[in-house]
Chain A
Amino acid sequence: MNILFLQFLLDIFFLTIVFLHITKKNFLVAIAYGVQSFVVLLILLNSFWETHNYYLLIVIVLTLVIKIILAPLFFIRLIKKHALIFSVNTYLNIPLTLISIAALTFMAHSQKFLPLTNIVPANQAILALALSSIFLSLFLIINRKGALSQIISILSLENSIIAFIIFAGLEQSPALQIGVIFNVFVWIAIASVFVSMIYQHFGTLNVTSMKNLTD
């Protein structure tokens, strides 16, 4: 694929994370994760076209089934089951969140992180954007108060790392990639059970309501 098209894909990826920061509806959060995973799938397809490694097709199929179909379905079912229409607030308000996003994006593009963005000099702009996505996903985990949003933030961080390593030429053997995806699948299942348990015990997904354990 054309490098500009790949850059465009990563722009969409980046925008899904920005969207995850500002959206108020859980349903849209689940859909945004699906879109983000679809972008990862397209990037993986590009990798397959370049390498002709047919084992990568298994990874692609698993990504499609687990991240694009099953995970969003899991989350939507959870949202419907507990009527979780609106997501819990963020710690920072939207203007402050956007300022933080700008600062983190600037940081990822700064000289400090040049050793990382310059791993493949031809992909420097793309790697800087992927690194920004990693930072924004990290910030998403910290800034979100909702248990469901935190799960999707963790998954978004995983997607961002995958995007980074593909463009940095650090892809692992397909067997290990399958292992990682299997891990993600189990993680989603376990985390979803925990979300249900949190709702049953606390009546909300707001993690700030969990105050039983203090010193």
Chain B
Amino acid sequence: MASFLLAALIGLLTKRRNLIEFISVGASVITLVASVIIALKVASRGTYNLLSFFSIDSLGAIIILIIAFIGLATTVYSVPYLRQEVAKNIIGFRRVKQYFVLLNIFLLAMYLAVAAESPVFAWIAIEATTLSTAFLISFYNKPSAIEGAWKYLILNSLGLLLGFFGTLLYFTSINLNSGDFVSWQSLMANISHFDPMVAKIAFIFVLIGYGTKVGLVPMHTWKPDAYSKAPAPLGALLSGALFPVAIMMILKFKIITDATVGVLFSQQLLIIFGVLSVAVAAMIMYNSKNYKRLLAYSSIENAGVVILGFGFGGFGIYAAMLHLIYHSCVKAILFFSSGNLLLKYNSAKIKNIKNALGILPITSILFISGFLIVTGTPPFGIFLTKMYILSSGFKNYPIAAIITLFFMAIIFISFLKHVSSMMYGETPAGVEVGEGNKWLLIPPAIFLILVVVLSFYIPPFLHTLINDVALHY
């Protein structure tokens, strides 16, 4: 975490672009190595504690691994991406500097949120993610970008304040003496003193609050606007890393609520939000006109699927955790390849992207692969996780599972319609054939390999971590 702080500080002070890029990539590499070591330790020895302020359990270990991988890929991809934008005079050096400083703060805030032992400190860190990304969303300083960033700032701040209120209501179980330090552990240890009615109200506030950050319907409205206006690499981080962090917060409060009022209450709420998210995303995706907004709605759908997995319970929880991992990887593929399309066509409108397969063959193959994976096409892992989640649902909540299956089919058709219209057709005038910098292809290609490998083989330590999450959450 210190490496990101250092990278942000150096980024602020130096005027050398190469140094900013090098330090940012270096910080991400260091954090990736540290995250892998911590995850291995958690898998073998259980919760990892650092001082009394930081603690990482199995869920935290999986999330920091996701942040580390997506974070490194995003930083590496951002270097050639921003260089091309500078070459096209879209942005200047000041913007590049601002981008990397904010990117490092954003990554730091996410790590702090995951590792924080105090729910309030975690809340502060998540609020910091909003503040650090607001200027990244308004990065291009156009009216539409300002609009997207404003909606993001206001809706997320509102949601997080409700989440803050819900968080503090959980503290009623503890006899606070002039501002004691309250940890996740102390909240669990005091559940016998927690009023069930307060627990229910608190969970509703937390679910609405952090659900806004996750992008659950009906708190999702900021998501398509922010994703479509943010620089393409940031989309991968928002969808692939920030979303799991917010899910983690909901889950941590869920187990406290479940221990107080039983599992049924939170399960029913999660199922309602989950089905709504999948359904609304499906209905809008069919008529989507912008491929970045299409990816945003896909994230809303997948947020719904993950929440449904936790709502259905049983094996659905294991599948939801695995789905979270696959989704983060595939969103990196899709957002990075969408960035390549944007650089080539200078447009995010689906109607303006024609013959992508002929113009950007490798990018197009990556994008098509991403589409097939994210929509749950066999033999990729998401097909299995979606099936496992639905089969868990069929046991206890068959209607919810059938509705979800129906809308999943619509999402596949919608995606297929848009992707095929982008891949074929006549080449637009003025668009040259050929891929750009190879470093614009390597990060999404690595994630494609990773998803394929993880679809058939889960490393033992990851399997242990996911099992542990399924056992506790």
**Which positions in A face B, CB cutoff 8 Å?**
51, 53, 55-56, 113, 115-116, 119, 134, 138, 141, 147, 150, 154, 157-158, 161, 164-165, 168-174, 176-177, 179-180, 183, 186-187, 190-191, 194, 197-198, 201-202, 207, 210, 212-213, 215
A-chain residues with CB within 8 Å of residue B154 when the two chains form the complex: 141, 150, 154
Q: How far is the CA of A7 from the CA of B181 in the complex (A)?
A: 28
B285-312 interface code vs A (CB 8 A; 1 in, 0 out): 0011100010000000000000000000
- Nearest-CB distance from A121 to chain B (Å)? 12
Asked if B146 CB lies within 8 Å of chain A CBs, one says yes
B150–A147 CB distance below 8 A: yes
Chain B contributes a number of interface residues (CB within 8 A of A) equal to 50
B178–A180 CB distance below 8 A: no
List 12 interface pairs A-B (beta carbons < 8 Å), by A numbering: A157-B158, A158-B161, A161-B168, A164-B165, A170-B169, A171-B179, A176-B118, A186-B131, A187-B131, A202-B143, A202-B146, A213-B229
- Give the dominant DSSP class at B's interface: helix
B-chain residues with CB within 8 Å of residue A119 when the two chains form the complex: 172, 198
Beyond the given pairs A170-B176, A173-B180, 17 more chain A to chain B contacts, judged by CB atoms under 8 angstroms and listed by A's residue number, are A115-B197, A165-B168, A168-B172, A169-B176, A176-B124, A179-B120, A180-B120, A187-B131, A187-B157, A191-B153, A197-B141, A210-B143, A210-B150, A212-B147, A213-B148, A215-B284, A215-B287
Asked if B347 CB lies within 8 Å of chain A CBs, one says no
A213–B225 CB distance below 8 A: yes
Q: How far is the CA of A45 from the CA of B42 in the complex (A)?
A: 44
A172–B179 CB distance below 8 A: yes
The 8 A-B residue pairs whose C-beta atoms are closest, nearest first, are A115-B197, A212-B144, A51-B178, A210-B147, A173-B179, A201-B143, A213-B225, A179-B124
B-chain residues with CB within 8 Å of residue A190 when the two chains form the complex: 131, 134-135, 153
Q: How far is the CA of A109 from the CA of B171 in the complex (A)?
A: 22
Asked if B182 CB lies within 8 Å of chain A CBs, one says yes
- Looking across the interface, which residue of chain B has its beta carbon closest to that of A179? B124
A-chain residues with CB within 8 Å of residue B164 when the two chains form the complex: 161
Q: How far is the CA of A175 from the CA of B201 in the complex (A)?
A: 27
Q: How far is the CA of A174 from the CA of B177 in the complex (A)?
A: 12
**Which positions in B face A, CB cutoff 8 Å?**
118, 120-121, 124, 127-128, 131, 134-135, 138, 141-144, 146-151, 153-154, 157-158, 161, 164-165, 168-169, 171-172, 176, 178-182, 195, 197-198, 201, 224-225, 228-229, 284, 287-289, 293
Q: When the two chains form the complex, which single residue of B118, B131, B157 contacts A154, counting CB atoms closer than 8 Å?
A: B157
Q: How far is the CA of A115 from the CA of B194 in the complex (A)?
A: 11
A-chain residues with CB within 8 Å of residue B197 when the two chains form the complex: 115
B-chain residues with CB within 8 Å of residue A174 when the two chains form the complex: 179
Q: When the two chains form the complex, which single residue of A113, A168, A207, A215 contacts B224, counting CB atoms closer than 8 Å?
A: A215
B-chain residues with CB within 8 Å of residue A171 when the two chains form the complex: 176, 178-179
B168–A170 CB distance below 8 A: yes
A215–B124 CB distance below 8 A: no
- Nearest-CB distance from B363 to chain A (Å)? 25
Q: How far is the CA of A212 from the CA of B151 in the complex (A)?
A: 12
Q: How far is the CA of A116 from the CA of B225 in the complex (A)?
A: 35
B-chain residues with CB within 8 Å of residue A157 when the two chains form the complex: 158, 161
- Nearest-CB distance from B189 to chain A (Å)? 17
